[in-house]
Amino acid sequence: MSATAERANAFAELRPPLDEAGALLEADRCLACGGPHAPAPCAAACPAEIDVPRFVEQIAAGDALGAAATILRENPLGGTCARVCPVELLCEGACVLLHDRRPPIAIAALQRFATDRLFALPPAPPGRPPATGRRVVVVGAGPAGLTAAYELAARGHAVTVVDGREEPGGLVRYGIAPYRQSREPLPAEVARLEALGVELSLGTPIDSPEALRALEAEADAVFLGVGMGGDVELELPGSGLPGVWRSLDFVERLKTGRSAEVGRRVVVIGGGNTAIDVARESVRLGAEVVALLYRRTEAEMPAFPHEVEEARAEGVEIVRLTAPVRYVGRERLEGVECVRMELGARDESGRRRPEPVPGSEHVVPADTAIEAVGQVPRAELLSWVEGLELERGRIRVDEDGRTGNPRYFAAGDAVSGGATVVEAVRGAKRAARAIDARLRGEA
């Protein structure tokens, strides 16, 4: 095996699964931490409201299937979140063991252990609640849409999920780097929703105001879980050269089983979690040099700090105060011409504005460049909803997901502008409860 292949294989999976013995040991370590803590900090830190102590106790008692039921009752994407949640900032970051400088309980690994055991079995038909006679259309089959569909179907409402893609999952299916989550366990999670009565209408793009009106006509309420649109394009000279990618196109290619040769040298442009993801994925694809260019300082990067440190530990070079100017190459990409930056006066966001340093132009050799500087809102689709209020392209909602149109509710990235899967779950749960209350005539 070559050194490049060995390096790629060294980081095959971010959170490897626990076997039964390991899960029991970790669960016992949790229960031996010194007594009950009410409320448990780990549970209080979970945006999806999962009863962490309860499911850990069930694993310790040998009831992995019961633990999975506890998890999925609150989060229908509990198996996915076990792979992609930033637990270092949430449940594991709140673990009481950290007070004594001990390693936190591996809550994500325990959650994956339990849900994997359940998903390995044929899906058992769940008991369906009495039908309310009300129908909700969910637009978008991403994390927010699937969660809202589950919550509403579990309350007896008829739910149809509409999405233009051929497979459900949205960002989870097509936009999260494969090393975090490939395809599993999403199909099993979706199968549970269908067993509950959720109808999926896939390959059905909403491409006109009339298509949206037709959906409205058959619904008592509409939930918007449409996420964000495509990548923000830098529109630099040379962007059409082979070897220049947008982050979502790059990740989708990998997630749908197609190859993506990155060569020896990769340049990633951006400073958020997506930029970190594609940089770490490039390491796994065998790149020998991966440089992440960010136009501000590392302290101002929006990516999670622990993710930046893990990327650096895997060999990603963080190149701060550097911005691309154009892509260089003849038949394909050969390098990225960049300019050094320095921080000037503060802009409207409160951050110091990066300004180019004259005469600092230089070329960074690259076989592949990946732009990961953000996503654009779905402005056209949202403009078709009467009364919908937007703020910087995002849907404005109250704390329960109500929009300016009383029939419409929303959550997920279309509201937040781009956050985590578990935050989309939290927002969708709140909105689904508000929809249920409205359909039942309750406050």
Return the CATH number at 41.
Answer: 1.10.1060.10
Instruction: Compute the Cα dihedral for 212, 147, 202, 83 and give only its sign.
Output: positive
pLDDT at 2 over 60: no
Number of domains the chain is built from: 3
Query: Could you give the CA distance from residue 152 to residue 401 in angstroms, rounded to a whole number?
Result: 14
Summarize the confidence of residues 365-393 as an average pLDDT. 94
pLDDT at 248 over 60: yes
DSSP 427-440: HHHHHHHHHHHHHT
Q: What is the pLDDT of residues 86-138, one digit of tens each?
A: 999 999 999 999 988 899 999 999 999 999 999 999 877 667 899 999 999 99
Residues 423, 338 share a domain: no
Residues 107, 40 share a domain: yes
Whats the size of the chain, residue-wise? 443
How many Cα atoms occupy the beta-carbon half-sphere of 12 within 13 Å?
Answer: 6
At 141 the pLDDT is 98
Of the listed ranges 27-36, 206-215, 225-234, 310-319, the one predicted with least confidence: 27-36
Summarize the confidence of residues 146-152 as an average pLDDT. 98
How many Cα atoms occupy the beta-carbon half-sphere of 20 within 13 Å?
Answer: 6
Give the residue with greater pLDDT, 82 vs 3: 82
Among 344, 371, 398, the domain boundary falls at 371
Enter the pTM of the model: 0.93
Does the residue 267 lie in any domain? Answer: yes
Phi, psi of 346 (to 5 degrees): -75, 145
Query: Could you give the CA distance from residue 422 to residue 50 in angstroms, rounded to a whole number?
Result: 11
Q: Which among 70, 147, 144 has a CA at the least distance from the CA of 107?
A: 70
Does the residue 233 lie in any domain? Answer: no
Which three-class secondary structure state does DSSP give residue 45? coil
pLDDT, averaged across the chain:
93
Domain limits at 409? 135-223+377-439
Residues 92, 78 share a domain: yes
Residue whose structure tokens are 């039964």:
20
Residue whose structure tokens are 């691309």:
324
Does the residue 201 lie in any domain? Answer: yes
CATH code, domain with 359: 3.50.50.60
Q: Which two tokens stand for residue 109?
A: 């690994």
Query: Could you give the CA distance from residue 321 to residue 10 in angstroms, rounded to a whole number?
Result: 30
Query: Could you give the CA distance from residue 143 to residue 131 in angstroms, rounded to a whole number?
Result: 24
Which three-class secondary structure state does DSSP give residue 10? coil
Q: Which two tokens stand for residue 397?
A: 């909602």
Query: Could you give the CA distance from residue 138 to residue 134 in angstroms, rounded to a whole number?
Result: 13
pLDDT range class, residue 196, cuts 50, 70, 90? very high
Residues 145, 90 share a domain: no
Residues 142, 111 share a domain: no
Instruction: Compute the Cα dihedral for 4, 10, 13, 15 and give only its sign.
Output: negative
Contact status, residue 340 vs residue 357, Cβ threshold 8 Å = yes
Does the residue 2 lie in any domain? Answer: no
Of the listed ranges 54-68, 91-105, 141-155, 402-416, the one predicted with least confidence: 91-105
pLDDT at 9 over 50: no
At 297 the pLDDT is 94
Does the residue 179 lie in any domain? Answer: yes
At 352 the pLDDT is 86
DSSP 126-167: PPPPPP-S-EEEEE--SHHHHHHHHHHHTTT-EEEEE-SSSS
Residues 344, 395 share a domain: no
Instruction: Compute the Cα dihedral for 339, 344, 345, 351 and give only its sign.
Output: positive
At 122 the pLDDT is 85
Residue whose structure tokens are 């622990």:
306
